[in-house]
Chains A and B, each alone.
Chain A
Amino acid sequence: MSGTWYYIFTLAFFLFDYFILAMGLNIQYGETGILNFAYIGFVAIGAYVTGVLSLPSSAGTGQYYILGLSLPFPVNLLLGGLTASAFAVLVALIALRRLRTDYLAMVLISLSLVLYDVCNNYVPLFNGADGLYNVPEPFAAALKLNTNSFIPFFAAVTGVIALFMWFVMSRVTRSPAGRTFRAIRDDEVVAAALGKDVFRQQLKSMLIGSFYAGIGGGLLIQFSGSFNPTAWLPGETFVVFAVILVGGVGNNIGLLVGALLVETLLVHLPAFLPAIPGAPGLIEYFDAVLIGVLLMVMLWFRPQGVVPERARRAASFGVKARLGTAAGELAEHVGSARAPQATTEPVALTTEGSGP
């Protein structure tokens, strides 16, 4: 396989993987309004757990980690996703129950820093700062894949998984459940006054989103065979935020566009460009700057993102249209409209009879 194809399939993998990650953050932030600044922590949990479940027992590997069960793909991946979800329940019970959105955001940032320090420094858990490596490549032995053929193969696997997860997610967001999430995003107090159990719904949204984070993380470690703390610096969360803000909050297709623009073009493509002579690594250092500039430009000129959220139209429910005349005039001229026909007694609000 030529170098070009290697690049293309690698880029495709990151596109699909960040599409999954963006869908997970979008249901939390874009749909439900939860500012989950610890998102990358859930990705890391998914990655580490997927890794230690597929690695053999750590004895004699030169690494230190828990479990080591040699579970096959995709069992390990699913368990990685579920572990991230379980962690979300814990976080929600601690932080979501009582805290307003802005405080919650701060608590979550702190939490991701704590998680980072633990994983980075407590070696017996996930091999500390060295992280996990030599993670078995899924199906590589069975399909006799070599290092070259594994990359297109696994990019395709990730594409299929992303497609399936997109299908599931769009069912969720288009359903009444998604509508209730958006009501909570727009105004928690109103949603509660409409009988919505806000905590329960936010918990549900956290669970789903964290599962997506965990799967996205699990795919990352399976693709590259390794995962260590440099892969999930807490600032990584903002790359995922950039993906959804650029692509379009609340629109699943927009997330794919966002993943393409931010993750593929800005984060990964520069790594494949030839280095500027005399300034090695300069292009990569500009990633963060470019993302920041793109974010500012977007928020300034097109805050709804490249592909904005689409509202579901009345006609799409397939019910008979009304004449729109029951209340008289056009609602735009509501002030001059007649009293509704149903009112048999016109209410004349003159001052007549207003004194004893």
Chain B
Amino acid sequence: MTSVTMPETGGPGDGSVILRCEGITKAFQGVHAVNGAAFDVVKGQVTALIGPNGAGKTTLVNILSGSMTCDRGHEFIGGTEVTNWPSHRIARLGLMRTFQLSRELGGLTVLENLLVAPHQQPGESLFNVFFRPRLVKRQERAYVERALDLLDTYGLYRLRDNRAGELSGGQKKLLEISRAVMVSPQVLLLDEPMAGVNPALIDRIGGYILDLQRSGVTVLMIEHNLNVVEQICDHVIVLAEGRTLATGRLSELRQNEQVVKAYLGEVIDAGTDR
């Protein structure tokens, strides 16, 4: 019955699993932040990861993106097991992430934040810088063209020469998303992309996420606002105390007593207040 608000997914999603985690466990000084989380993310979908504060959502994103290692469990991207691979190797497989608290590269300009993103650039090799300058220059122009188009789309074009550290909170959120998009990711992990931004910007970011989905990007986003989840997510994973409590469509989860007790009750109230 929520199909009215569901976007037509279409696109390249063929129901195959692009990101899978099995029994992921992580403890900090004996406290289990993640405790056996297991779920699949289906290619081409926008999946929400919800759960109360401290459920381990951010820790899980840190593990999945390689920013942290896990104690136990397995992670697969496509068919490849990538458990505890370093961050840069996971990124090169096409999994990009944003951070809950924006982490812009403050000393770089907005444009440079995007230009630095592509993996294994020819111009990062000093051999190429000195002996194949034309190749580097050509590649740079291609990056700049793409980056300026993206900044234009994300409404940051006029700020292109500003240092990223000078941006407002909402602008930093947009910058992080566009920086991740710069490399045409296969999977995008967004850690609360809409937290702390005003309602109009929430709409916009929602629009960007749907656009990304249309262009074939699989999105896993942590989101507290269930209205947003309702509007843009195909699938929901509920995490509580580091475990996967339930997965399914939001409408199904609303009928799951356990889920409502653990989480939805409070948030539905909070959500309708907004």
B206 within 8 Å of A (CB atoms): yes
Bound-complex Cα distance A313 to B160 (A) = 8
Bound-complex Cα distance A311 to B121 (A) = 20
Q: Are A311 and B174 in contact (CB under 8 A)?
A: no
Interface residues of B in 202-233 (CB under 8 A from A): 202-204, 206-208, 210-211, 225-228, 230-232
Interface residues of A in 301-356 (CB under 8 A from B): 309, 311-314, 317-319, 321-332, 334-337, 339-340, 342-343, 345-351, 353-356
Q: Are A176 and B115 in contact (CB under 8 A)?
A: yes
Q: Which B residue sits closest to A336, measured CB to CB?
A: B200
The SS class assigned to the B binding surface is helix
Bound-complex Cα distance A212 to B87 (A) = 31
Q: Are B112 and A311 in contact (CB under 8 A)?
A: yes
Point out the residue from B109, B154, B206, B210 that lies within 8 Å of A327, measured CB to CB.
Answer: B154
Shortest Cβ distance from B219 into chain A, in angstroms? 14
Q: Are B201 and A347 in contact (CB under 8 A)?
A: no
Q: Are B119 and A351 in contact (CB under 8 A)?
A: no
Q: Are A324 and B136 in contact (CB under 8 A)?
A: no
- The residues of A that contact B195 with a CB separation of less than 8 Å are none
Bound-complex Cα distance A60 to B272 (A) = 92
A192-B87, A324-B158, A347-B231 as given contacts; A182 in contact with B105, CB under 8 Å: yes
> Per-position contact with A for B72-109: 1 when CB-CB < 8 Å, else 0?
00000000000000111001100011010001011111
A172 within 8 Å of B (CB atoms): yes
Q: Are A322 and B152 in contact (CB under 8 A)?
A: yes
- The residues of A that contact B67 with a CB separation of less than 8 Å are 189, 192-193
> Per-position contact with A for B118-144: 1 when CB-CB < 8 Å, else 0?
111111111001100000100011001
- The residues of B that contact A345 with a CB separation of less than 8 Å are 7, 210
Q: Are A192 and B86 in contact (CB under 8 A)?
A: yes
Bound-complex Cα distance A91 to B183 (A) = 34
Stretch at the interface among A195-203, A225-233, A266-274: A195-203
B255 within 8 Å of A (CB atoms): yes
A311-B108, A314-B148 as given contacts; A350 in contact with B227, CB under 8 Å: yes
Point out the residue from A171, A201, A312, A336 that lies within 8 Å of B130, measured CB to CB.
Answer: A171
Stretch at the interface among B18-26, B31-39, B163-171, B234-242: B163-171
- The residues of B that contact A351 with a CB separation of less than 8 Å are 227, 271-272
Q: Which B residue sits closest to A350, measured CB to CB?
A: B227
Number of interface residues of B (CB under 8 A): 89
Q: Which B residue sits closest to A352, measured CB to CB?
A: B5
Q: Are A331 and B161 in contact (CB under 8 A)?
A: no
Q: Are A327 and B155 in contact (CB under 8 A)?
A: yes
- The residues of A that contact B227 with a CB separation of less than 8 Å are 349-351, 354
Point out the residue from B105, B122, B197, B199 that lies within 8 Å of A190, measured CB to CB.
Answer: B105
Point out the residue from B158, B226, B251 that lies within 8 Å of A330, measured CB to CB.
Answer: B158
A117 within 8 Å of B (CB atoms): no
Q: Are A342 and B211 in contact (CB under 8 A)?
A: yes
Bound-complex Cα distance A152 to B178 (A) = 55
Q: Are A327 and B123 in contact (CB under 8 A)?
A: no
Q: Are A193 and B96 in contact (CB under 8 A)?
A: yes
Q: Are A353 and B230 in contact (CB under 8 A)?
A: yes
- The residues of A that contact B198 with a CB separation of less than 8 Å are 335
A57 within 8 Å of B (CB atoms): no
A34 within 8 Å of B (CB atoms): no
Bound-complex Cα distance A343 to B117 (A) = 25
Bound-complex Cα distance A325 to B66 (A) = 37
Please list the 7 inter-chain residue pairs (A to B) with the smallest Cβ-Cβ separation, ordered nearest first: A176-B123, A327-B155, A343-B207, A195-B119, A192-B87, A195-B91, A347-B206
